[in-house]
Structure formats: structure tokens, C-alpha cells
Amino acid sequence: MQTPSKPWRSSHPAPHRLDILCLLHNTPCLEILHLHRLSHRQGPPINELWQAAPLHVELPSLRSLVFTHCAYKPVMGVLDGLSLPPRTLVRLDNLYIPFNSEYPAPIPRSLNELLGGITTMQFAVDKEMLFLVVEGGSPESGFWLRVRHEANTFWSHWLSGLHAMMPLGNLTSLHIDLYDPFVLIVLSHMTQLSDLFVLLEPDKVDEERVRINALVPRVATFCSVLSQSQPVACPSLRSLVLEWRGDTLTYLEDLGVPDIVAMLSSRASFGHPIRRLVIQAIQASGAESGSTLRSYFSEQLSPLAGHVEEFEECVDGDAHVCAFEMREMWNVTGAEDYWCVNERQRPRYIPLWSYDYSFTS
């Protein structure tokens, strides 16, 4: 479902959630639903018949549910009134939470069955932006959330309750961007996690201070979390992949190898060793001679090999061992059979720090 080609003006209220649910009532054959531009300024319900009791709508044939460029609150309100089959792709893309809003609502319990089969997560937070994709073994099921909070102060509160919104204990693979270290709070709930991919990214502030100071505390914080013994963080972890962005490394101090060594030793001492370690640390362009600096990096990283069964240093600047990659399943078959979707409304992975982000149609 799309709104008309002529966009709503900001002064026009969006349909009330009850009216949207009424529209979807008795649509058992509906397979693809796409709602665009639901504003936080909702008008009063038009259909008075449904105001007396909450409406619950079953969509047993739904394959794809997409919200694009919508306010977060009304989207959660609509989701709360839907009953979806467990094999549904739910994409909430480029949502926004206005300034001066209350804490973001949790993911509705109506998605519990859909989220019950998740095994992989890709996750990044960059100040006001949050990007989260969880998938399972079936290419027909997944949940995608990309949202901007204009106040940029509430994600730590929302993330502290993520374990109650989805079964983090089922995850076996996690890709995480460590731009904001507080995202590490989710690791304590990932008891089955075996493969962890970490992308290390410095703050976008003064370049000289960043190069010297920013990455080491991130590595130290990350390693301290994985070194916890009571309780053990990620007790099933066997493979760890770390990638430093190539445009950030010009100083040997950036790598924080002593912290990594201490973490590997600690985990081995209490019976939860990491067996495989992959490191990608490519120097910044324009830094010291490439071959010279690469040899320095390799020398600094060499102590790590003695603490794992399998050690690999990736020196290919064109490869990315921690790349965030979108699976083809998000390009849903039949999604554009009856209408043309704007390019910005199609599924695509964009780095959170990219200026290509847009919250307009």
C-alpha cells in the first residue's frame, strides 16, 4: 500500500492507527504491504465503530511489511494491532522520533513469533542513528529497523531492554559497529553467540586527537566486557573478527594489542577460549610508506597468534572482513508488480556516518 504520489504536507495529519487497521481488516489474501510517510501528527479516528475496543487484525498471507519515512510511534502502534505469520519480512526503514518525544516504545509483542527464529544480527548505533537487522535460517523471515532519534540521548535506555524484545540468546552470529561503546550492553545476553565481527570506528572530531586517543579506549572497553567471568560474556564465542577502518590508522598505539592479549588470556583461564582471531588493520592513505607501516602493524599484532589456535591478518585493503552486507531476500519478489517504488524507499545498506542518509521522499 502506498500513499498517493502527491506527498502530504506536514500540516496534514496522518491517518489514525485505528483507521489503518480498519482498512486492513478482512484482507486475508494480502501479501505485500508498504506504508509511506506516516506522520507523528495523527488525526482523530474517522471510523467510530472501532474506537470502543482495540482492533486486532490478522494478515495470514502477508510476506512483506514495509514502513518508509514514517514517525516511529504510529508505526509501533500499527504493528501492535497486527498478527503476522512467522515467515514475514518486516522492514522499518528511515523512521524518525521527533525531538522532545518520550522514550521510544519497545518492539511490539505482536512480532514475538516472527523474532523467535533469529540467529544473526547486524547492529550499529551512531549518535542519533540506530540500524538493526536480525535474520534466521529462513530467507522468508527477518526484521529490519533503521531509525533516527532527533534528541540522540535515548538509545542506551532502549538498548538496555532489547533482550526483552527479542531472544538475543538465540543469536549465533553478530556484526557490530563499535562507534558507540554502550552498544556492548547487549553482549551479556548472547549466550549462544559463536561468531563476532567488530568494526572499530573513531569519533568524527579533531583528527590528531582521534588518531592517538579514540580507538584504544574502545578496544579496552570491548575487551573488558569479553573478559568478564561472573557471568561470562558470550560463553560460546569461538571466532572473533576485528576490523579497523583504513582511514583511521597512522599510529601504532591505535591497535590496543595489550588489551586484546589480556582478554584472550582471561577467557582461556576460565575455560571459554576464543579459538579463531582475524585482524584487519590497514593504514590510512597518505600515512607513512605503506609497506613500512604494514610491517609495523604486523609486528605489533604478532603476539596475538600465540593466544589462539587460528590467527589471520588480512592485509588486503580492498577486502572488508567485517562488512555489513544486505541479503538478497530483502528485495522481495513481487514488491513492485503493481507500483513503482522510489529508489530511496528500496532496501539498501548505507553506513550510518554517510551523508547519503535522507529522511525525505
Residues 200-251 have pLDDT tens digits of: 864 444 454 444 445 557 888 999 999 999 899 999 999 999 998 766 565 5
Q: What ranges in the chain are assigned the alpha helix state H?
A: 17-24, 72-80, 112-115, 155-159, 162-165, 207-209, 215-226, 257-269, 290-301
Higher-confidence position of 17 and 49:
17
pLDDT > 50? residue 358? no
Phi/psi at 290 (nearest 5 deg)?
-55, -50
Pairing of strands 129-136, 118-126: antiparallel
Residue 235's DSSP bridge partners are: none
Mean pLDDT of 337-346: 90
Place of cell 505485500: 32
Q: Which pLDDT score is estimated for 161? A: 95
Q: What is the pLDDT of residue 43?
A: 65
90-99, 136-145, 244-253: range with lowest mean pLDDT? 244-253
The cell numbers describing 156, all together, are 542506551
Cis peptide before 231 (omega within 30 of 0): yes
Amino acid 255: pLDDT: 79
CB 45 within 8 A of CB 51: yes
Q: Is pLDDT at 55 greater than 90 in this prediction?
A: no
Q: 116-138 pLDDT, tens per residue?
A: 999 999 999 887 889 999 999 88
